[in-house]
Amino acid sequence: MKSYSTTKNIIKIFIILLSFITKSNSDEKNITYMQILQNPNDLDLNLKYAQQQGKIGNHKQTISTLERLNMLYPENIEIKLYLLSVLVQTDAPQKAFNIIDDIKLRKDVSAEDLESVAEIEDELKGRAEPKLWNFYADISTGVIHSNNVNNVSKTRTKLSSDSIVAFDSAKHDRTLSGSLGLTATRSIGEASSFMINLSQTESEQYFETSDDYDTYGLTLAFDTLVGNQSLSPYLMLSKTDYEDDADSFSLMSGIGGYFSVGERHSFSYGYSYSDSKGNNNSSDTTANETNAIGHSYIIGHDYIFSDLISTSIGLGYSDSDAKIDAGNDYETYDINLRINFAFPWAYISIGDAISFNDYKKADSTVTSNRIRSDVTNTFDIMLTKALGDFFPSLDPNRAFFINLSYEKVISEANILNYDYIGDSFSLSFSRSFKLN
C-alpha cells in the first residue's frame, strides 16, 4: 500500500490548494468509474481515483470513494486525513466533525496532526452554513464507425412473411454523438445522499439519417450504507425521438447493491423493472406491438489479483413480456467476463459477453413455422487515457479524457434475419465540471 504524508504542513496544503497531494505525481494512473465499480476495495487504486476526481471537481465521487475506504480500513489514519481535507473543501461540516471526533479518539495520532485537526475544527465552527445542493455538468462527444450498423445478415437476405427477400439497409456507416448531463446532489444524514440527473443525447448517422435520434432522460437515485452494504434504489425515465421511426418511452426502476468480503473479493447484485412503449407513426404502424414489461436480475463477483490486474464475472436473467404478442416475448440469459489492467500509462479493459435469447412464440411477419432462438457473443476492448498525457499544453490539469474502443458482435440464430457479424471502432472525449 502506498504511503501518504500526514504531517501538519500537508494538511494545511490540502486546505489551501483544495486537493490531495501524493508523494509523487509522476505515478498517477488514469482510472475510470467502471474500474472502481469492479475494484471497490482496492486501497491504492481507489485513492488514486479519488485524487483524479477531486482534480476535475467531482467531489461527490471523491467523498463516496473515501467513505467506503474508511469503512473498509478503519485503522488507516491517512484515509481519515484525506477524507477530512475533502470534506473541508466541499463544505460538509457535519461529516468533517464526525471524522475529527474519530481522529481524536485514536491513540496513534501525532501531536502535530492533532494540532492541525484542532485548527481545522476551529475553522469549520466559524464557517457559514454549507450549500444544501451541489451541481455538476458532464459533456461528451464521439464518433463510431461500424461495418454493419443495421445488423444485416451474413447472406444479405432475410425472411419476410415466409419469403426470402434482400436486405436493403446500409452496412457501413459513421455515427456522431454528443451528450450533456446535469446533476444535482444533496447529502441526507451521514451515510446517504440523493441525486437528480437530467441528460440529453444526440446521435446522427452519415448514411442512415432516418435512424437519427435524440434521447432525453431523468434519473432519481438514493444512495445509502446499510451495515457493510451499499444500496442504491433508482428511478429512470427516458424518451427517444427518432427522425423517421416511431418514438419510444421507457420507465425503469430498480435497486442495486454491493458488499466486500476481505480485501480482494466484492459482490454485487441488482433487480430492475421496466415498462417500454412505442408510439405508432406513418412509417412504423406496428411499433406498439413491442410494448413490453421487463424484469431483470443480476449478480456479480469482482476479484483483485494485484494493483495491476483485476477481474469480474456477472450473471444475468431478464424476461420481456410484450403487451401485444407478435413474437416479441423472450427470455435472456447472460454471462460476462472482464479483465482490467491499470497500467501507469493507461487503463485497459477487455471483456466478453454471451447472451442466450429464447423467444416464446413465432413472429408471423418473419416466419410462421419457427420460433426464434439466438446466441450473441460480444467482445470488446477499451482504452482510457487523460488527453493531457498526449498534449500537456491543451490539458495541463488532465481533466479531459480520451476513450478508444473496439467491439465485435457475432450473432448466431436459427432464423437468417438475425444471423450476422459486426465490427465497430469508437473514439470519444469527455469532461466533468462543478457548477457551484
Distance CA 295, CA 257 (A): 17
Cβ atoms of 410 and 375 closer than 8 Å: no
Predicted confidence at residue 11, as pLDDT, reads 44
Q: What is the dihedral of CA 196, 131, 61, 389, to 10 degrees?
A: 110
Tell me the mean pLDDT per 10 residues along the chain, length 436: 38 40 43 64 72 67 78 77 76 77 78 78 67 88 92 88 82 89 89 93 84 91 88 94 82 93 90 87 66 93 91 95 77 96 87 94 84 95 85 75 94 93 94 82
SS3 121: helix
Q: Which CATH architecture has domain 134-434?
A: Beta Barrel (2.40)
Q: How many CB atoms lie within 10 A of CB 314?
A: 19
Q: What is the DSSP string of 175-224?
A: EEEEEEEEEEEEEETTTEEEEEEEEEEEEEESS-GGG-EEEEEEEEEEEE
Distance CA 279, CA 295 (A): 22
Name all contacts of 13-22 with Cβ < 8 Å and 24+ positions apart. 14/82, 14/85, 14/88, 14/89, 15/85, 15/88, 15/89, 15/120, 15/123, 18/54, 18/89, 19/51, 19/54, 19/55, 20/50, 20/51, 20/54, 20/82, 20/85, 20/86, 22/47, 22/48, 22/51
Distance CA 250, CA 236 (A): 8
Q: Is the dihedral of CA 120, 121, 123, 124 positive or negative?
A: positive
Per the structure block, which three cell numbers stand in for 382? 477499451
Per the structure block, which three cell numbers stand in for 184? 444535482
Class of domain 8-125: mainly alpha
Q: Which amino acid is at 64?
A: S
What b/e readout covers 77-106, taking b as 16+ CB neighbours within 10 angstroms? bbbbbbbbbbbbbbebbebbbebbeebeee
Per the structure block, which three cell numbers stand in for 139? 459533456
In angstroms, what CA-CA distances link 35 with 49, 239, 296, 398?
Answer: 9, 29, 23, 18
Per the structure block, which three cell numbers stand in for 422? 459486426
Distance CA 275, CA 295 (A): 9
Predicted confidence at residue 378, as pLDDT, reads 97
Predicted confidence at residue 231, as pLDDT, reads 93
In 39-174, alpha helices (H): 43-55, 59-72, 77-89, 93-104, 111-125
Distance CA 53, CA 14 (A): 15
Per the structure block, which three cell numbers stand in for 188? 441526507
The domain locations on the chain are: 8-125, 134-434
* Cα-only R_g, the chain: 25
Distance CA 274, CA 108 (A): 51
Predicted confidence at residue 186, as pLDDT, reads 92
In angstroms, what CA-CA distances link 317 with 178, 295, 298, 300, 335?
Answer: 31, 8, 7, 12, 9
Distance CA 326, CA 365 (A): 8
Cβ atoms of 200 and 172 closer than 8 Å: no
Cβ atoms of 384 and 402 closer than 8 Å: yes
Residues whose CB is less than 8 angstroms from the CB of residue 295 and which lie 6 or more positions away in sequence, other chains included: 271, 272, 273, 274, 318, 319
Per the structure block, which three cell numbers stand in for 239? 424518451
For strand 163-166 and strand 173-188, is the pairing parallel, antiparallel, or unpaired?
Answer: unpaired
Cβ atoms of 268 and 302 closer than 8 Å: yes
Predicted confidence at residue 257, as pLDDT, reads 93
For residue 289, the number of C-alpha atoms closer than 13 Å in the C-beta half-sphere is 12
Provide the terminal-to-terminal Cα distance of the chain, rounded to the nearest Å.
34
